[in-house]
Amino acid sequence: MPKIAKGDRLESVAFEYIKNKITTGEYPTGYRVVESKLSQELNMSRTPIRRAIINLCHSGFLVHQYNRGAFVQNTEINITEFFSRMKLVELLIYESTEKLILREDYIVVDDIIKIAEKVIYYEKNREYELMRGAFEDFISIFIGKLNNDYFNRVIQDLWNEVNDNATNEVRLIIVSASDRIAEELANMIEILKSWNYGQLKDCFQHIMNAMILIAF
């Protein structure tokens, strides 16, 4: 049974407990999640467990079947599912860009430039796994400019989900498009330094197009 710290919401504890069982493979695809069993394992009432199961259904880890219960979804992320998630990333990036345009010099962008330079450095030295991780950090930091805890959690969960469940083809997309990504990030650095933020959207669109061409 997981340790429950004072102040922890039981629903959150149950959510993380079940999610961990799914992501580690202990609950395989098609496994039926049973409230009563979890209630005994976690030593808590079924109400927070039921809420956690509902949230896991919304998050795509479980699927509810009428009169049968909740079952573990196939969590593998293929190319189509990856780009479905990237549309959300693109939307958040555009929102963050709009905030930069509106706020201009009120928002510090030095951290964005620094991580972009790191991505370029790793690509130049063919350290592709480090490059992929740095690119994910770049996206997260850029979206972080929205200063929205919910969006920050969404993007972090998305990257965790991709890294845990992506197919080999998906894992290679960013690496295969690394030269174009580095080129566009170099352009973005110049844009950020000049405060002409309106052009950032075009750079992001070019990155998305490059990944789509690699994938399909």
0.75 exceeded by the pTM? no
188 and 110 co-located in one domain: yes
Using CA atoms, how far apart are residues 179 and 86, in angstroms rounded to an integer?
Answer: 19
Residue-range definition of the domain harbouring residue 85: 79-215
99 and 47 co-located in one domain: no
CATH number reported for the structural domain that contains residue 48 in this entry: 1.10.10.10
Domain end among 38, 72, 106 = 72
Using CA atoms, how far apart are residues 97 and 92, in angstroms rounded to an integer?
Answer: 9
- The count of domains in the chain is 2
Sort residue 106 into left (φ over 0), alpha (ψ -120 to 50) or beta.
Answer: alpha
Placement of tokens 């959150």 in the chain:
12
168 and 183 co-located in one domain: yes
176 and 102 co-located in one domain: yes
59 and 134 co-located in one domain: no
153 and 204 co-located in one domain: yes
177 and 85 co-located in one domain: yes
Residue 197 CA: distances (Å) to CA of 100, 187, 201? 7, 11, 8
pLDDT in tens, the chain (216 residues): 555 544 358 888 999 999 889 888 888 888 999 999 999 999 999 999 999 999 888 877 888 888 888 999 877 788 888 888 888 889 999 999 998 888 765 778 999 999 999 999 999 999 999 999 999 999 999 999 988 888 888 888 888 878 877 888 888 899 999 999 999 999 999 999 988 888 899 999 999 999 999 887
Using CA atoms, how far apart are residues 90 and 147, in angstroms rounded to an integer?
Answer: 17
Domain end among 55, 72, 89 = 72
Q: Which residues pair with 62 in a beta bridge?
A: 72
Positive or negative, the CA dihedral 90, 91, 92, 97 is positive
Q: Give the DSSP H/E element, type plus range, for residue 97.
A: helix 79-103
